Chain A
Amino acid sequence: MAIDRETKLDIAEFLYRESLALDERRFRDWLGYLADDIEYVMPVRVAREGQAEWELSPTSRIFDDNRDTLEVRIRRLETDFSWSEQPPSRTRHYITNVIVDPGEEDDEYLVSTNCFIYRSRGVEPDPSFYSLARKDTVRRTPDGWRLARRWAALDQSLVNAHNLSIFI
């Protein structure tokens, strides 16, 4: 099934706006972009031989969240005690290589993107960089586009950051 150009552009813009909400730390707005049944998953990557059956752990997850737990993370950021984000990370999500394919349901699309995140904090001169492959499921609803699934895998196996207190 061919996907028309307008749909592809709409979906790309949706993902840009979704990441803008994160970069501007409008986390309640960001929740509004998520479907009620959102799955938010980041598998653990393991450095293995090229012929190995898997490099992304079939069981281990860095994020394994649903809407309720994402909301817990946001409520945490809204307290005065989320020390890992005091001062807050300044993030910039760069979303590229947007490829849209039909999803399992008529109103859903599988969206593969590259995601590069720049993260700076406080007066530390050295930023953190994260390079990720994302495979999202985006759903068309009467209220607009919603993210039904985010699957994101870091390219690093030994991850170069003391924590991941940001959203991907």
Chain B
Amino acid sequence: MIDDSTLQQIREGIKHGKFPVRAFNDEEIYQLEQERLFSKAWCFLAHESEIPSPGDYVTRYISNNNIIVARDEHGVVHANLNMCRHRGNMMCKSEMGNASHFRCSYHGWTYKNSGELIGVPYMKEGYEGRLKRKDWGLVTVRIESYAGLIFGTLDPDAMSLDDYLGDFRFYLDLYLRHGEQGVEVYGAPDHWVADTNWKICAENFAGDGYHTPVAHQWGFTLGYYPSSGSTHSQGWAASIPGRGHGVGLGHSPNFPPFGGFPDELVADMRRTFTPAQVEVFEKVRTAVGTVFPNLSFLMQPLSLIPGEPGVRFVTMRLYHPVGPGRMEMYSWCLVPKGASQEYRDASYKAYTLAFGQAGTFEQDDFENWTKVTKSAKYTMAKDLEFPYIMGMESEPATDFAGPGHVVTPYVNDTNFRNMWERWGDYLLGEV
């Protein structure tokens, strides 16, 4: 059994650049994560644009709990456990839809989409006045949102979402505030299962610039990148101490400011972003970041034909663990609300070629990640550790306008040390 002193050793170890292999596929650690991390942290549920109209809902998970995220008739979003309070049947068996009410298919208890119980068959004859409807609404999940992202937490005492995201909001805006109208989902997410531990994905997207020239080497070979293998390490790694979030910001020499965005959108973004954000964002070719624990974003230009000027796309992804070595992957493409349909379509096409389960970049990532997950269970790997020592001695960058702990180059472990230290805080119950 993993006890607190082992967890303390792990957390101390990551500060010195070591993290245990077994953390990436271990039943006990998985159970601890369910109890102490995913039941305490702010977990991503949905983007507001997935449920734009009254009655719209999607069903998502926090830990193993299926949650209905619905917009009521007044436009207010609610999140409730997808379980009838009478005998526990699942209320809503679809991934998305529109309904003003949910009626249980077992005994017929009926709830408003806000979760309020309004209908109980044989109320008078059966319950004889002993059942108070207001006591038996669906179990509510606390939600808060930032720039269209709806998060939920099972911890009533959790800090506010703004506090939880902290200074990472500065970087999140790069994905979410493309002009005054912001972004929306292009459509329903790709959704698939993989024999992969969620942490491998979360770490990779917290700024693993190191893997790109090798894991996606075919892209360099075909001439896909505006950077070459030799310049690829340029850029910054920004992490938010004490929060676990991190982003890698890749830069290429001579990369045009905001390259790959249409001109009118760039003008709009220059008005929406703060001067400090403009200074940081205009230099960024690739931005790959993770909101601790398991929500990630990637933005980069990609052309359909190698060598042609790329079109920017943004993907948002959620790694939902369903076992120590298994997860459900959700992958969305976000597009600017205010941009032309032509740009939005081109951006989505670039996304599908690169990401989603047939995406040429995604394919190789999952190939590697399933193999890492398999190795992490080897008996010979039980007491091994991985090195997380890149950037141990790096001094924070001084000429950088963004917040957090920022180091160069882009190829760095600093974000990951910060992330797994925070993971240790949660597993030790010290949040």
Which residue numbers of A lie inside 8 Å of B, CB to CB?
Answer: 42, 44, 46-49, 52, 57-66, 68-69, 72-73, 75-76, 79, 81-84, 157-165
Known contacts A47-B94, A81-B217; is A62 also within 8 Å of B190 by CB? Answer: yes
B55 CB to closest chain A CB, in angstroms? 12
Contact partner of B222 (CB less than 8 A), chosen from A60, A75, A158, is A75
Whether B221 pairs with A81 at a CB distance below 8 angstroms is: yes
- Distance from B326 Cβ to chain A, minimum over Cβ atoms (Å): 10
Contact between chains at A46 and B193 (CB < 8 Å): no
The interface residues of chain B, by DSSP majority, are classed as mixed
Tell me whether B349 is interfacial, beta carbon within 8 Å: yes
- Return chain B residues, CB-CB under 8 Å to A44: 187-191
* Contact partner, A48, options B95, B189, B195, B353, Cβ 8 Å: B95
Contact B221 A79 (CB under 8 A): yes
Contact between A159 and B353, CB atoms less than 8 A apart: no
Task: Give CA–CA (A47, B186) in the complex, Å.
Answer: 18
> Is B306 engaged at the interface, CB distance under 8 Å to the other chain?
yes
Do residues A159 and B366 form an inter-chain contact, with CB atoms below 8 A?
no
**Of A42, A158, A163, A164, which is in contact with the most chain B CB atoms at under 10 Å from its CB?**
A163
Verify A64–B348 contact, CB threshold 8 A. Answer: yes
How far is it, in angstroms, between the C-alpha of A160 and the C-alpha of B217 when the chains are bound?
A: 27
Assembly CA distance A136 to B305 (angstroms): 25
B353 with A60: CB separation less than 8 A: no
**What residues of B have a CB within 8 angstroms of the CB of A52 in the complex?**
94, 97
Task: Identify the B interface with A (CB < 8 A).
Answer: 93-97, 186-196, 215-218, 221-222, 304-306, 328, 348-349, 352-353, 356-358, 360, 362-364, 366-370
Across the two chains, which residue of chain A brings its CB closest to B193?
Answer: A160
B187: which of A58, A157, A161 is its contact (CB, 8 Å)? A58
Does B193 lie within 8 Å of A64, measured CB to CB?
no
Task: Enumerate chain B residues within 8 angstroms of A65, measured Cβ to Cβ.
Answer: 352-353
Given A46-B96, A75-B222, A84-B366, are A61 and B352 also a contact pair (CB < 8 Å)? yes
User: Can you name 12 A-B residue pairings with CB atoms under 8 Å?
Assistant: A48-B95, A58-B187, A61-B356, A62-B356, A72-B222, A79-B218, A84-B366, A159-B192, A159-B193, A161-B192, A162-B192, A162-B357
Complex alpha-carbon distance, A157 and B352, angstroms? 17
In the complex, the answer to whether A60 meets B188 with C-beta atoms within 8 Å is yes
Q: Provided the pairs A62-B357, A162-B195 are in contact, do residues A57 and B97 lie with their beta carbons within 8 angstroms?
A: no
Cα-based distance from A81 to B360 in the complex (angstroms):
11
Tell me the bound Cα distance from A164 to B188 in angstroms. Answer: 18
Complexed CA–CA distance, A60 and B187 (Å) = 5
Smallest CB separation, A47 vs chain B (Å): 5
A58 CA to B362 CA, complexed, in Å: 23
A48-B94, A48-B97, A62-B352 known; A165-B363 Cβ under 8 A: yes
Query: Which single residue of chain A is at the shortest CB-CB distance from B374?
Result: A124
Which 9 pairs, one residue from A and one from B, show the smallest C-beta to C-beta distance? Answer: A60-B187, A59-B187, A84-B363, A162-B194, A81-B217, A164-B358, A159-B192, A163-B363, A81-B218
Q: Are A59 and B192 in contact (CB under 8 A)?
A: no
State how many angstroms separate the Cβ of B84 from the closest Cβ of chain A. Answer: 17
The main secondary structure of chain A at its interface with chain B is mixed
Cα distance, A17 to B370, chains bound together (Å): 33
CA distance A83 to B96 in the complex (A): 34
Chain B min CB distance to A44 (Å):
5
Residue contact B194 to A72, C-beta cutoff 8 Å: no
Known contacts A60-B188, A158-B193, A162-B194; A83/B364 CB under 8 A: yes
Chain A residues in 8 Å Cβ range of B215: 83
**Assuming A159-B357, A165-B363, is B191 touching A63 (CB within 8 A)?**
no
Chain A residues closer than 8 Å to B305, beta-carbon distance = 68, 72
CB distance from A77 to the nearest CB of B (A): 9
Q: What residues on A are CB-neighbors of B195 within 8 Å?
A: 162
A128 to chain B, nearest CB (A): 11
Question: How far apart sit A101 and B126, CA to CA, in the bound complex (Å)?
Answer: 58
A105 shortest CB reach to chain B, Å = 25
**Cα-based distance from A157 to B328 in the complex (angstroms):** 12
Residues of chain B within 8 A of A48, CB atoms compared: 94-97
Bound CA–CA A58/B353 (angstroms): 18
Provide the bound-state CA to CA distance between A84 and B216, in Å.
11
Q: In the bound complex, how far is the Cα of B95 from the Cα of A79, in angstroms?
A: 39
Q: A59-B186, A72-B222, A84-B364 are in contact. Are A161 and B97 (CB under 8 A)?
A: no
List residues of chain B with CB within 8 A of the CB of A164. 357-358, 363
Of the candidates B190, B196, B352, the one whose C-beta lies within 8 Å of that of A162 is B196
CB pair B328–A158 under 8 Å, yes or no, is yes
Given contact pairs A52-B97, A66-B304, A160-B193, a sample of 20 additional A-B residue pairs in the complex whose CB atoms are under 8 Å apart? A44-B188, A46-B188, A57-B187, A60-B186, A60-B187, A62-B352, A69-B304, A72-B305, A72-B353, A81-B216, A83-B367, A157-B95, A159-B193, A160-B192, A161-B357, A162-B193, A162-B195, A163-B363, A163-B366, A164-B363
